[in-house]
Amino acid sequence: MNIGATLKQIRIEKGFSQKKAAEKLGLSPTWLSQCETGIEDPGLKLIHKASKLYKIPVPAIFLRSLDLEDVDKQNHEKFRILKPLLVHIIKSIWNV
């Protein structure tokens, strides 16, 4: 699960520059960059703030962040099929 990379994707899809998003989230652009690249853990407080800013629910952020390592090996094939569908549904509902 890479929450930071997902937050970056959503930020870009919503049309925010890193500088503008950091300003609205009350963060330094450097720290936001470190969260988006996996150097720092964004934590739940940032995820909640980003959820409000980007108008996407926290569970949808977590669902978009799931990757193969988060799924039992026996369910890898199912996940490969479902992941694109989940992302598509999330994008179509919340316009990201």
Question: Mean pLDDT for the chain?
Answer: 95
CB-based contact 16:27 (threshold 8 Å): no
CB 82 within 8 A of CB 63: no
Inter-CA distances, 7 with 71, 77, 79, Å: 21, 25, 21
| Side chain identity at residue 1, one-letter code | M
Two structure tokens written together for 4: 């930071």
pLDDT of residue 88: 93
Q: Tens digits of per-residue pLDDT, 4-21?
A: 999 999 999 999 999 999
Domains of the chain: 3-94 (1.10.260.40)
Residues 41-65: tens digit of each pLDDT: 999 999 999 999 999 999 999 999 9
CA 63 – CA 9 distance, rounded (Å): 13
CA distance 4 to 17: 15
